[in-house]
A and B are shown apart, each in its own frame.
Chain A
Amino acid sequence: MRDASPAKAYALHVGVIALLFALNFVLPDYHQGLFARIMALAVFAMGYNLLFGYVGLLSLGHAMFFSAGLYGAGLTVHHLGWGVPEAFIAGVTCGALLALVIGLLALRTSGVAFMIVTMMFAQVFYLLILYFAAWTGGDQGLVVQQASRTLNLGGASLDLTDPTVRYMSALALFAVVLLITLTVVRSRFGRVLVAIRENEERTKMLGYDTVANKLAAVVASGAICAASGAAYALLFGYVGSSFAGVQYSILPLLWVLLGGAATTLGPLVGTLFMYYVTDITSGFTSAYLLIVGVALILLVLFFPKGILGSIRERWLGWLP
């Protein structure tokens, strides 16, 4: 097997986490804040990648899982006055439960139908947010007040709006999810998922319950995306329906395609790349989305498997 060197893979991932940790101390203020955002959203992309990259299920509705976490955390703080840890758990639970229900229904389909069904459910979720505007703030959204974004750990209280605390919190979430993803994809479960992607019929014939495995993947993916949403609400203080729109279902797909589907670090690379291309080019022209589009086309032409996917194919075969 080409991934016979787990030490190498784990070393790389720990190295990336260490690099991100060190960057906190050297990045200029603005970029420190941007990296915190990117890490939180890279978790969203990692959740998406688990389903898209490893199981081969292309969902066009993952914004609903992200926003289930966003609203699950944001609304419990806003309306019920919950603390940060409880709100975070509430967000992740909302995402996991939603994913379970959606999974049970959507997995009756596959391929294009799966895309359409997930997109329709996401649209329903989006319209529900608008419908219950009295609680959700509708299209305007809600602010999670700065005072309620404090994490009390024992005697210490951490202000999540402090740039360093925010960066480290985003990094902690990113690191945990990255290592979980790495472990999952290297596990027996992960290999079954890849087998389903490659040939579902054959996997079934070998005695695996593919539906149960796919459902587990949908729930894991939904929970990870919800963790990202919950963290976003608590770290950046805004909960709004635009995060539940179609755009936020397409974005993780783009980030993953760009970074490399079915690579554990691809989601981070893709998110980072897209964010910086947008941020830098928007300083020069209002047609920056055109530049982003051209960059994407070039990448598809020259790196059809995404940045890390192509690197793995050409040079580093052991890359997980």
Chain B
Amino acid sequence: MADKNGFFDLSKTTLSRRTALKGIAAGAGLALAPGFVRYSQAQSSAPIKIGFQSHRTGIGAAYGRWYEKTSTAAVKAINDAGGISGRKVELVIEDDGTDPARGAEVVAKFAKQHKTDIVFGTLFSHVVIGSAPAAGENKIPYFVVSEGHHVASTKLNRYVFQPGITDVKSQIQSMAPWIAANAGKKVTQIFPDFAFGYDHRDYLPPALKAQGADVIAQIAIPPTESSFTKYFPQIPAETEVIYHVMVGPAVLTFVKELGEFYGSNRPQLFGFIDSLEAVDINSPGLEFLDGSHFWEGSPRYAQPDDSAAQKAYRAAVGIDDNGAAVGDPKDVSTAAHMFGCWETLYVVKKAMEDAGYKGPEDRAKLVEATEALKEFAEGTEHPQGPKTFNGKIHQCFGIQNISKVEGGKLKVVHKTKIEDGLYEPEGDYTTQAL
């Protein structure tokens, strides 16, 4: 018995497009949330809108907060100096929840609802990889500050770029000469048993081999582990260097237990600061790290030989000499990575100006202009140091810092050369259609 009135009549009538539209218009009209308003095309004098995909919540929240601070500071600096091609820049921020599915939705939201010119931001590899298809499908350039090797692997697509931070494969490779020459020739690696750890597992041994050193043991620690003592007997006695890249809250326990295991007679320690980004190096339990070495993309602590550009960058972002927020010494920054946001935004500015970018219709031109970039000189726009850019793999290569923990601070003891981190390209994005 079909109801004669109301809704069910809809299925009984012949549903022409016009009737359907009439019926639906009422429903659509209800949805008068701001999100439903169709946006008009940006005028040439309108601000350039940059969609910032931020880890505001989820596991990446500490990074997200500092990425936002850095990006906001960079946008202010760019706007104060006249913007991009004379147009102001506006950041539109959406939270990706550090989740790949939401990340993809956010990219689509930027492209279709906010109508931003590009999408920018985000660190965690799985979010970048999850979001990349949405960027490619919407043909919207997606500039990431992720440091993962996924962009340079050419497994993503032509719209994804990483021009502001060196990828992890290059970072690891450029550490090898220093480790072999200064720390020791017999290296044991301890890493988390997931992708971040695998980069180190796979790229370090060949790089060390080329320097006449060897990885003599690789100890993968399951991500669910919260105590590590049982793994330490696996470290061979002849180990000269322990190379550790543990991440997450467990890192404090890891260091503490390693200290208890070795006491004062320990091998050299070398780590990636990723383990301790946004964590005070003077936290209780980390005393054992004194005298050990870390990779840093950009130094957390102000260095005596900091360039004027580095000083200006630190002041603009609002970090003090210890790498913490000005006025809040407990709020430690993610200094080793977040400079990438600053530099990426300046790369976007350069590429947009090179392309004569006017609006979304010029996105393909923007991609090509970015691919045409070759190098970035050290200076206000690139305070971390000079970089080269490979347009075929959409990846930049810069210098890296090796810092020693001394008196509760990180002191840069070595800067690598760009050439130390170069490798054979694994593909070529420019062969893909736009």
Nearest residue (CB) in A for B199 is A140
With a cutoff of 8 Å between Cβ atoms, the chain A residues found around residue B125 in the complex are 140
Interface residue A289 (Cβ < 8 Å from any Cβ of B): yes
The CA of A241 and the CA of B130, in the complex, are separated in Å by 11
Interface residue A206 (Cβ < 8 Å from any Cβ of B): no
A11-B12 contact given A141-B100, A240-B100, CB 8 Å threshold: yes
A140-B129 contact given A12-B8, A146-B157, CB 8 Å threshold: yes
A8-B28 contact given A140-B150, A141-B130, CB 8 Å threshold: no
Is there an interface contact between B8 and A242, defined as CB atoms closer than 8 Å? no
B28 in complex: contacting residue of A26, A139, A241, CB < 8 Å: A26
A240-B194 contact given A25-B17, A26-B24, A26-B25, CB 8 Å threshold: no
With a cutoff of 8 Å between Cβ atoms, the chain B residues found around residue A243 in the complex are 101
Interface residue A132 (Cβ < 8 Å from any Cβ of B): no
Is there an interface contact between B129 and A18, defined as CB atoms closer than 8 Å? no
Interface residue B133 (Cβ < 8 Å from any Cβ of A): yes
With a cutoff of 8 Å between Cβ atoms, the chain B residues found around residue A7 in the complex are 1-2
Is there an interface contact between A240 and B129, defined as CB atoms closer than 8 Å? yes
With a cutoff of 8 Å between Cβ atoms, the chain A residues found around residue B57 in the complex are 286, 289
The CA of A13 and the CA of B33, in the complex, are separated in Å by 27
Interface residue A33 (Cβ < 8 Å from any Cβ of B): yes
Is there an interface contact between B137 and A8, defined as CB atoms closer than 8 Å? no
Interface residue A202 (Cβ < 8 Å from any Cβ of B): no
With a cutoff of 8 Å between Cβ atoms, the chain A residues found around residue B148 in the complex are 140
Interface residue B230 (Cβ < 8 Å from any Cβ of A): no
Is there an interface contact between A133 and B194, defined as CB atoms closer than 8 Å? yes
A139-B8 contact given A28-B36, A288-B95, CB 8 Å threshold: no
Is there an interface contact between B1 and A8, defined as CB atoms closer than 8 Å? yes
Binary CB contact string for chain B from 199 to 236 against chain A (1 if under 8 A, 0 otherwise): 00000000000000000000000010000000000000
The CA of A30 and the CA of B157, in the complex, are separated in Å by 21
Interface residue A19 (Cβ < 8 Å from any Cβ of B): yes
Binds B, one of A90-98, A99-107, A174-182, A275-283: A275-283
Is there an interface contact between B109 and A30, defined as CB atoms closer than 8 Å? yes
Is there an interface contact between A242 and B101, defined as CB atoms closer than 8 Å? yes
Question: Smallest distance from the beta carbon of A254 to chain B beta carbons, Å?
Answer: 15
Interface residue B167 (Cβ < 8 Å from any Cβ of A): no
The CA of A26 and the CA of B157, in the complex, are separated in Å by 30
With a cutoff of 8 Å between Cβ atoms, the chain B residues found around residue A145 in the complex are 157
Question: Smallest distance from the beta carbon of A66 to chain B beta carbons, Å?
Answer: 11
With a cutoff of 8 Å between Cβ atoms, the chain B residues found around residue A146 in the complex are 133, 136-137, 157
Question: Smallest distance from the beta carbon of A27 to chain B beta carbons, Å?
Answer: 7
A142 in complex: contacting residue of B12, B34, B112, B129, CB < 8 Å: B129
The CA of A27 and the CA of B38, in the complex, are separated in Å by 10
Interface residue A5 (Cβ < 8 Å from any Cβ of B): yes
Question: Smallest distance from the beta carbon of B91 to chain A beta carbons, Å?
Answer: 14
Interface residue A208 (Cβ < 8 Å from any Cβ of B): no
Is there an interface contact between A19 and B24, defined as CB atoms closer than 8 Å? yes
Interface residue A138 (Cβ < 8 Å from any Cβ of B): yes
The CA of A34 and the CA of B25, in the complex, are separated in Å by 19
Binary CB contact string for chain A from 97 to 134 against chain B (1 if under 8 A, 0 otherwise): 00000000000000000000000000000000010010
The CA of A29 and the CA of B113, in the complex, are separated in Å by 7
B198 in complex: contacting residue of A15, A133, A280, A282, CB < 8 Å: A133
Is there an interface contact between A282 and B194, defined as CB atoms closer than 8 Å? no
Nearest residue (CB) in A for B92 is A283
The CA of A117 and the CA of B380, in the complex, are separated in Å by 58
B21 in complex: contacting residue of A22, A130, A241, CB < 8 Å: A22
Question: Smallest distance from the beta carbon of A185 to chain B beta carbons, Å?
Answer: 20
Is there an interface contact between B132 and A286, defined as CB atoms closer than 8 Å? no
Interface residue B7 (Cβ < 8 Å from any Cβ of A): yes
Binary CB contact string for chain A from 1 to 19 against chain B (1 if under 8 A, 0 otherwise): 0000101100110110011
Is there an interface contact between B113 and A28, defined as CB atoms closer than 8 Å? yes
The CA of A242 and the CA of B412, in the complex, are separated in Å by 37
Is there an interface contact between B112 and A33, defined as CB atoms closer than 8 Å? yes
Is there an interface contact between A30 and B155, defined as CB atoms closer than 8 Å? no
Interface residue A31 (Cβ < 8 Å from any Cβ of B): yes
Interface residue A143 (Cβ < 8 Å from any Cβ of B): yes
A280-B24 contact given A143-B129, A161-B137, A286-B95, CB 8 Å threshold: no
Binary CB contact string for chain B from 44 to 79 against chain A (1 if under 8 A, 0 otherwise): 000000000000110000000000000000000000
Interface residue A37 (Cβ < 8 Å from any Cβ of B): yes
Is there an interface contact between A242 and B99, defined as CB atoms closer than 8 Å? yes
Interface residue B341 (Cβ < 8 Å from any Cβ of A): no
The CA of A206 and the CA of B106, in the complex, are separated in Å by 53
The CA of A286 and the CA of B54, in the complex, are separated in Å by 10
Is there an interface contact between A25 and B21, defined as CB atoms closer than 8 Å? yes
Interface residue B181 (Cβ < 8 Å from any Cβ of A): no
The CA of A145 and the CA of B24, in the complex, are separated in Å by 35
Is there an interface contact between B129 and A28, defined as CB atoms closer than 8 Å? no
The CA of A5 and the CA of B38, in the complex, are separated in Å by 42
With a cutoff of 8 Å between Cβ atoms, the chain A residues found around residue B112 in the complex are 28-30, 33
The CA of A237 and the CA of B125, in the complex, are separated in Å by 16
The CA of A11 and the CA of B15, in the complex, are separated in Å by 14
Question: Smallest distance from the beta carbon of B62 to chain A beta carbons, Å?
Answer: 13
Question: Which residue, A11, A30, A138, A142, has most C-beta atoms of chain B within 10 A?
Answer: A30
The CA of A229 and the CA of B10, in the complex, are separated in Å by 32
A138-B198 contact given A22-B20, A238-B104, CB 8 Å threshold: yes
Binary CB contact string for chain A from 276 to 305 against chain B (1 if under 8 A, 0 otherwise): 000110110010110000000000000000
Binary CB contact string for chain B from 136 to 165 against chain A (1 if under 8 A, 0 otherwise): 110000000000101000011100000000
Nearest residue (CB) in A for B114 is A30
- Cβ < 8 Å to A, chain B residues 73-124: 94-95, 97, 99-101, 104-105, 108-109, 111-113
Is there an interface contact between B28 and A27, defined as CB atoms closer than 8 Å? yes
The CA of A241 and the CA of B94, in the complex, are separated in Å by 23
Question: Smallest distance from the beta carbon of A97 to chain B beta carbons, Å?
Answer: 25
With a cutoff of 8 Å between Cβ atoms, the chain B residues found around residue A27 in the complex are 28
With a cutoff of 8 Å between Cβ atoms, the chain B residues found around residue A14 in the complex are 11
Interface residue A236 (Cβ < 8 Å from any Cβ of B): yes
A18 in complex: contacting residue of B20, B27, B97, CB < 8 Å: B20
The CA of A230 and the CA of B101, in the complex, are separated in Å by 15
Interface residue B126 (Cβ < 8 Å from any Cβ of A): yes
A31-B35, A140-B148, A282-B95 provided; 9 other pairs, C-beta below 8 A? A29-B113, A37-B105, A138-B194, A139-B126, A143-B129, A143-B156, A238-B100, A238-B101, A242-B126
The 8 closest A-B pairs by CB, nearest first: A237-B133, A30-B112, A30-B113, A29-B112, A22-B20, A286-B56, A140-B195, A15-B11
15 contacts between A and B (CB under 8 A): A11-B12, A15-B7, A19-B10, A22-B15, A26-B21, A26-B24, A33-B112, A34-B105, A130-B194, A137-B129, A138-B198, A141-B130, A142-B129, A236-B133, A243-B101
